[in-house]
Structure 1
Amino acid sequence: MSTEHDNEHTGEELARVHYLPTHDATGLARPVEAEVVEGELVSDAEYRRLTSEKAKALARYQAYKRDLVVVGRVTRRVATHERTKSTAKTVARHVLYVPAGAAAVGKRLWDAKSSSLYERQKRAAELAGDLDRLQEWESRAELFKERRHKRVMDWLDAPFALAKAVAVGIASVVALLLALGMVLAVADSDAGLILAPIAAVIDFVRWVAWVVTIVWGPLVLAAPWVAVLYLWNEGRKRNSTPAWLQPSATAGDGEGSLVTADGIVRALQHLSIPALNRAFKDGWVPRFDLTPTREGHGVFKGFRAIVDLPMGVTPEMVADKRAVLAKNLNRNAVEVWPSDYGKEKGGKPGFVNLYVADSGVMDKPTPDYPLLHDGAADVFAGVPVGITQRGEQVPFCLVGSNFVFGGQPGQGKSNGCRVVMLGAALDPLAELRVHVFAMNGDFDAYAPRLSRYHKGTGSEHAEQATEHLHELYAEVTRREARLAEIGAKKLTRPVAEKHPDLRPLIVLFSECHELFGHAEFGKQAAELAVAVVKRGRKTGVVLGFDTQSARTDAIPGELVENVGINGCFAVKTWRSNDGFLGDGSFAAGIRATDLRFNVDRGTMVVTGVGEELFEIVRTFFIAVDDDTGFDAATDVIARAMGQLAPGTPVAGDRPAPQIEQDRDLLADLDTVLGTERVPAGDVLGALRNLAPRWRPYQDHTVPTFVAALKELGVKVARTGNRNLIDPVTVRERLAEQSTDDLDE
């Protein structure tokens, strides 16, 4: 039976048949072309076991591969994470501080031992064209070389002098010890004590040597680490590591917050100022009076640097290129403020005071008003108004400083005045008055605290405000006499506490362009406001003004020049800028024109509040809701009312000023005239003193005054070039007028 037949019947698979080599016709063996396989027959159980182990091994291998992928992914993520990069940079930076410190120490030692410092200063003076400075450093260099030569000669003689000094010293000490030993020997009758002092010194030296032997090891081990720590500290102070190793920007600092001296120099090199470009080309190197230094509090931070300029370049030129300078420093224009350092207190001419705020600082919200929930204020020491770009609180010292706020509509002037007056309201001694030349309710919540509160437009309010200024001028005069009476040179808080009639008086004229631009009362109001500001500083009478326009008929230029605090919100032109901040402000780099309309709302450029030439102040915000009528000042005013000092005037304590009624010119002439004829000019002056608030007397000139008398039937005699008024004629006409009135 064949094999295939058997397979068909059994259904079982037999082992593969391998044929042995066959023999050909010659009888030789002929190999068969087939693969020879060696193997081992195993049982089904053994096969399953082997298969299971193979599957497990494959599973372990696959799990191992997955673990490798996970570890690689995690490792890559950790290695590329910002925190890892920052840590690596920090480690590298601190490691590099050591060689940087060694370089700094080496340079300092080299400068101390060589004349390189003097050579650098001479080159800088030569490049700057400063001959006096060049001669000074040449003299210093010659003196240094002479001293160095003398020190070298002294070192040559030093070994011999030292040996001689040591020998003399040892001999002297031995002689002293022997003398002391002889004294002891005589005192104790013991010859052995002669050498006792020397033996004691030898024992002390042996003990010191033992102590040094014990301590020397730790000192030797610690010395290198102390040296490394010293070099690290020196390198850290220099901070000369590469820019890519500097700390990365964080959310708190803002992107690109780092400002270095090299960065400032590069920014100056690309300002396109011809004289500055020539100086750099000739090898001029800027000197930093202050290297970039971190300033600020919390999230409001930046860098301050003070750097000099070469000949032919002024700080105003740099200020004119502020937008380019800001671009070169990776900032918005509103975040970079160069100014003339020479115009600041203690400043140096020819230097630029540069402040670079962190990116985005101007977009961060200001803190809450610090006195919103508790606390009191002091108008003598200063009321809180806002914060600088550095996060420092800015107080306005009101007594002794009047103030003006200006800027385009809607940029925060009214809120700034509300903040100032709210701080004044929290001073228990201060009396507050407000004129608002509009029909808004900005100060309605303040009404209980205001001894006078007037709002509205029109001639009636303008006349009332002018009359008020008359009263304020008279009050200044009264206070001057009162201060002289009590022997005080100016009003201080102790004086105000002791004398209630000398309490500080804060008066605000909001939207004052409506007053000063009034056709009938504007000129007189302006003259009175200037007079009060000039004379009232020492008496505690403080005036404040806010307006939208810098035109002369909106706010007098003389008034702007004489106030102590000038604040300017966003404006469009340099004329408006100088109109609110004073002539020359724009040229000096004090520029509110760089504030962005609506974007920098509530931010103003302020002068007169510190030693800096100016400050960028972001005012606190006193919340209001026009829809619901909510005003956060309401609760603050209620608290202020509860902490008032006795006698401080509030609402209702000061009636509105009475408008002068029509006057009888003949009756007033009867009052001021005597029995002799008087020149018309002198009579007019007497009438003005009699009724200083009566507008016709203020406006009259001698010709118009004579014409007015003629209309009343009073003939004025003219002798030479003078118009003489006869009191007899006046009184006769007055009697006639009285008779006519009786007949009627």
Structure 2
Amino acid sequence: MKKPSNVHYLPTYRTDEVIDAELVSDEEYARLTSQKAKAFERYRGYQRDVVTVVRWSRWAATHDRTTTFAKAILRNLLYVPAGAGVLLRRVWEAKTNSRYERMMRRAEAAGDYEALGEWEERAEHAKQRRHARTMDWLTAPWQLLKAAFASIVGFILVLLMLGVFLSLATDDWSRALAPIEGVLSAIEWTVWLIAVVWGPLVLVGPWIGLLYLWHLGRRTDVAALGWLRSSTQDEVGVMVTADAIVRALQHLNIPAMTRAFKGGWLPRFDLTPTREGQGAFKGYRAIFDLPLGVTPDMVADKGNVLATNLHRNAVEVWPSDYGKEKGGKPGFVNLYVADAGVMDKPTPEYPLLHTGIGDVFTGVPVGITQRGDVVKFVLFGGNFVFGGQPGQGKSNAARVVMAGAALDPLCELRVHVFAGNGDFDAYAQRLTRYHKGATPEHALLATEHLRDLFDEVERRENLLAELGAKKLTRPLADQHPDLRPIVAMFSECHELFGDKDCGEEAAELAIRVVKRGRKTGVITGYDTQSSRTDAIPSQLVENVGINGCFAVKTWRSNDGFLGDGSFAAGIRATELRFNVDRGTMVATGVSDELFEIVRTFFIEVNDDTGWDAAADIIDRAMAQLAPGTATSGDRPLPQLEASRDLLADLDQVLDIDPVPAGEVIGALRTLAPTWRPYKDLTVPKLVAALAEHGIKVPATKNKYPVDPITVREAMARRSAGPDAE
């Protein structure tokens, strides 16, 4: 049978199987198809909603904040059983001898037998007291009953006596029992008050107990809850308790310390972890002892491991030998742990950038510590040395020091830069001497300058003696312009001390100036990239008051700038990261601490445009100078001698008798100490030079005496000219 054109077969489905079909009209077919399409779209919408809910639920459940929040809830819930454990442990220790036994094991592990005997004695006394208390409790019930009966009877008799007195006073014997009635009323009122308050107390009491247990658990650093701490707590809070330090020490892998911990030893804290610092620059300081066989330098050698155990970078953890500090104790470690990220925070603006004056007697600001304290260099009596790898901040540190000195109205400044850079060009108008360049002529000028400084030290010593002063003071410098402090900076000094002709003499003069100039106000500073002896003398490093070492690679360089034994004592610039910790130095002699980690202020300079923030500082320094303080142009600059006349010099040093050539050379060097040819002069060279002038020097027992008559005759022939007979 043929299907009409205006009807359709509409199948009926059971799952995926067609079980029947019926004929429907076009209108009915369209209506039913539209309903199915709408139902399908509604189903797809529900599916999308479910997927969205699942996706967002998964995101919310795995988000860091959700994890932190869940950890916080679980952590606070677990504080209660942790607090209960703390309370039970305290009760157990109070009722038993476990505390004394622990202390005895610790003393035995440390080999402190005196303390062991003391704790054994204390433990025995505790047992006796506990036994006495137990015996007292056996008789306590009967004693309490007797005391209670006697007290009640006595109290009733007192009330009756009061009643009798009251009756006699009022002539009313009915009031004899009034005191007893009053006490009974008070008891009744108290029972009523307790009945009213008891209900809330019963309800609140357990919560107060839970709160107390939560507080105990929160205050106690429970190792089992470590995984529930947030990352912020791990970074900043790990140093809050001594337990964190003990755990860090337990995993240093120092055999003697590991054995001590296994034997029950625990460190004694002379200073429990204490918060230090200002503003954003904070950390923790702790001082603790070490077991037998372990030294502070062993802990310092494990600085990287200790820092990792405390969740810090190596430059944020500084253990040092407390026994080498003023008032310290041998065998103790002074540990400072900065907050995570402190080293990455920018230093504040230079304090004297826009206003203020400097004072070389009380100190000029140079930088800040990890605690945020401003570090001042007391330049008077404290010469300084900066060392470290190239590009780590030595020149900027020198610029900061010299800027502070420039702002002292009484201070005179001098600078030698043994390179061609313009680090101190902006300071030029404030400098009485300013020389640049790595030439032999500059080395000769600097050596002559050091000789002048040493002569100046001697002059000032004599003048101070005449004034009856033991050392220069600011009032004296103000009254006597010729006693004003002098700060002489020798930048890149390895070029000076490494000079083949002047280096040895310059080193000797520099050491002598540092040793003797301390009380006279003659101050010198040096910066260099190398700690070799020919770059900076070891005696110079040892005798300056302030040593600053930027990032270095080896312990030899570290000790070369900070002094022998510094690395072993935990004073280590090797922990500073190259380029990362640029502008940060390990400094000694700037505080009462064994050393400080100093982040220097930065005086900005633009290498492209030549702009230098120091120019404004120097302009302000020039405007506030005290009368009589020398600046650029006030002192004539020394000039190197272009030539000397050997015959004229011989005529000056010789008298009438012949003098051995060796003595003549010494006289010539005394006459012209800066003339390099005289420094290199030897007897054969002198004999040859005189031969060129027609003077023959006889050997005469190898003394080669120079006859002044022959010298003067040669001078006369030279004066007469080549045509003279």
Q: Normalising by structure 2, what TM-score?
A: 0.73
**Secondary structure of 1:545's aligned partner:** strand
Letter in 2 for 1:469: F
Q: Does 1:76 align with 2:61?
A: no
**Secondary structure of 1:474's aligned partner:** helix
Superimposed CA distance per residue, residues 126-168 of structure 1 (whole angstroms, 9 cap, x where no aligned partner): 2333323322322222232233333334444545555555556
**Secondary structure of 2:631's aligned partner:** coil
Aligned-residue identity in percent: 62
- State the 1:84 CA deviation: 0.9
Contact 1:249/1:258 (CA < 8 Å) preserved in 2? no
Q: Does 1:651 align with 2:631?
A: yes
1:470 — aligned with what? Answer: 455
- State the 1:351 CA deviation: 3.7
Distance 1:229 1:374, change over 3 A: farther
Cα distance in 2 for partners of 1:636, 1:565 equals: 24
Match of 1:223 among 179, 194, 205: 205
Match of 2:225 among 242, 252, 268: 242
2:325 — aligned with what? Answer: 344
Cα distance in 1 for partners of 2:482, 2:179 equals: 86
**Secondary structure of 1:89's aligned partner:** helix
Letter in 1 for 2:211: L
- State the 1:79 CA deviation: 0.5
Superimposed CA distance per residue, residues 335-373 of structure 1 (whole angstroms, 9 cap, x where no aligned partner): 544322333345443344445556765555444434434
1:549 — aligned with what? Answer: 530
1:403 — aligned with what? Answer: 384
Q: Give runs of aligned pairs for residues 484-633 of structure 1, distance below 5 A.
A: 506-513=487-494, 529-530=510-511, 533-534=514-515, 542-633=523-614
Superimposed CA distance per residue, residues 404-454 of structure 1 (whole angstroms, 9 cap, x where no aligned partner): 212233332121111122234445565544444555432222234446555
Aligned length, in residue pairs: 651
Distance 1:51 1:269, change over 3 A: same
Q: Does 1:106 align with 2:121?
A: no
Letter in 1 for 2:400: V
Letter in 2 for 1:651: T
Contact 2:6/2:25 (CA < 8 Å) preserved in 1? no
Cα distance in 1 for partners of 2:527, 2:425 equals: 17
- State the 1:459 CA deviation: 1.5
Q: Does 1:460 align with 2:484?
A: no
2:69 — aligned with what? Answer: 87
Letter in 2 for 1:84: T
Which stretch of the first structure deviates more once superposed, 394-403 or 226-235?
A: 394-403
Cα distance in 2 for partners of 1:506, 1:296 equals: 32
Cα distance in 2 for partners of 1:171, 1:406 equals: 90
Cα distance in 2 for partners of 1:658, 1:184 equals: 114
Letter in 2 for 1:246: R
Distance 1:554 1:186, change over 3 A: farther
- State the 1:186 CA deviation: 6.0
- State the 1:229 CA deviation: 2.8
Contact 2:321/2:334 (CA < 8 Å) preserved in 1? yes
Cα distance in 1 for partners of 2:41, 2:285 equals: 64
RMSD: 5.1
Q: Does 1:131 align with 2:113?
A: yes
Contact 2:375/2:598 (CA < 8 Å) preserved in 1? yes
Letter in 1 for 2:107: A
- State the 1:508 CA deviation: 3.3
Q: Give runs of aligned pairs for residues 159-178 of structure 1, distance below 5 A.
A: 159-160=141-142, 162-163=144-145
2:365 — aligned with what? Answer: 384
Q: Does 1:394 align with 2:375?
A: yes
Contact 2:412/2:629 (CA < 8 Å) preserved in 1? yes
- State the 1:75 CA deviation: 0.4
Letter in 1 for 2:451: T
Cα distance in 1 for partners of 2:232, 2:323 equals: 33
Cα distance in 2 for partners of 1:514, 1:374 equals: 36
1:681 — aligned with what? Answer: none
- State the 1:243 CA deviation: 2.9
Q: Give runs of aligned pairs for residues 691-702 of structure 1, distance below 5 A.
A: none
Match of 2:293 among 312, 317, 334: 312
Contact 1:428/1:648 (CA < 8 Å) preserved in 2? no
**Secondary structure of 1:624's aligned partner:** coil
Cα distance in 2 for partners of 1:583, 1:15 equals: 104
| Unmatched tracts of structure 2, length 5 or more | 11-17, 654-669, 676-711, 713-725
Contact 1:289/1:307 (CA < 8 Å) preserved in 2? yes
Distance 1:249 1:474, change over 3 A: same
1:66 — aligned with what? Answer: 48
Letter in 2 for 1:312: G
Contact 1:97/1:239 (CA < 8 Å) preserved in 2? no
**Secondary structure of 1:410's aligned partner:** coil
Cα distance in 2 for partners of 1:269, 1:391 equals: 31
1:419 — aligned with what? Answer: 400
Q: Does 1:143 align with 2:143?
A: no
Cα distance in 1 for partners of 2:371, 2:601 equals: 15
**Secondary structure of 1:142's aligned partner:** helix
Which stretch of the first structure deviates more once superposed, 402-411 or 42-51?
A: 42-51
Contact 1:296/1:390 (CA < 8 Å) preserved in 2? yes
Cα distance in 2 for partners of 1:354, 1:442 equals: 37
- State the 1:213 CA deviation: 4.7
2:692 — aligned with what? Answer: none
Superimposed CA distance per residue, residues 566-600 of structure 1 (whole angstroms, 9 cap, x where no aligned partner): 11123344333222212211222222234344444
Q: Does 1:97 align with 2:83?
A: no
**Secondary structure of 1:419's aligned partner:** helix
**Secondary structure of 2:231's aligned partner:** coil
Contact 2:7/2:26 (CA < 8 Å) preserved in 1? no
Cα distance in 2 for partners of 1:324, 1:609 equals: 28
Letter in 2 for 1:343: K
Superimposed CA distance per residue, residues 176-207 of structure 1 (whole angstroms, 9 cap, x where no aligned partner): 66666666666666666666666555555555
Contact 1:467/1:659 (CA < 8 Å) preserved in 2? no
Contact 2:364/2:376 (CA < 8 Å) preserved in 1? yes
Contact 1:451/1:649 (CA < 8 Å) preserved in 2? no
Which stretch of the first structure deviates more once superposed, 161-170 or 215-224?
A: 161-170
2:214 — aligned with what? Answer: 232
Cα distance in 1 for partners of 2:168, 2:501 equals: 115
2:695 — aligned with what? Answer: none
Q: Give runs of aligned pairs for residues 190-201 of structure 1, distance below 5 A.
A: none
Q: Normalising by structure 1, what TM-score?
A: 0.71
Letter in 2 for 1:78: A
Distance 1:56 1:211, change over 3 A: same
Letter in 2 for 1:107: R
Distance 1:660 1:196, change over 3 A: farther
Superimposed CA distance per residue, residues 313-355 of structure 1 (whole angstroms, 9 cap, x where no aligned partner): 3222333344555566676654544322333345443344445
Letter in 1 for 2:54: G
1:117 — aligned with what? Answer: 99
Contact 2:457/2:520 (CA < 8 Å) preserved in 1? no
Cα distance in 1 for partners of 2:196, 2:650 equals: 110
Cα distance in 2 for partners of 1:201, 1:536 equals: 90
2:698 — aligned with what? Answer: none
